[in-house]
Amino acid sequence: MRGHRLPGGAYLCLIRLDGAVHALDDTCNHAGCLLSAGKLRDHQVVCPCHEMTFDVRNGALTCSPRLCQDQKTYLVEVVDGEVWVEVE
């Protein structure tokens, strides 16, 4: 799990899980903390600030109480060992 800053200031969290690479917004929409500084638990990333959990495969919030929204995810393609992420 790694965080990457994009030109323009956005942050992405890239996660390799079961041979696939997933990308989601690295800034937690609950408290603004970087998810890449958290922990990976099975297929969930745990926010380091308030332990909100998100499914890395689709960004769905997986904890209760629901204090925030699902995380935005991005389309990822691995081509010849390079990771390409479609950002808007």
Which pair of structure tokens corresponds to residue 88?
A: 């808007």
Q: Where are the domains of the chain?
A: 2-86
What is the residue type of 21?
A: V
State pTM to two decimals: 0.89
Tens digits of residue pLDDT in 25-80: 999 998 889 999 999 999 999 999 999 999 999 999 999 888 889 999 999 999 99
CATH class of 2-86: mainly beta
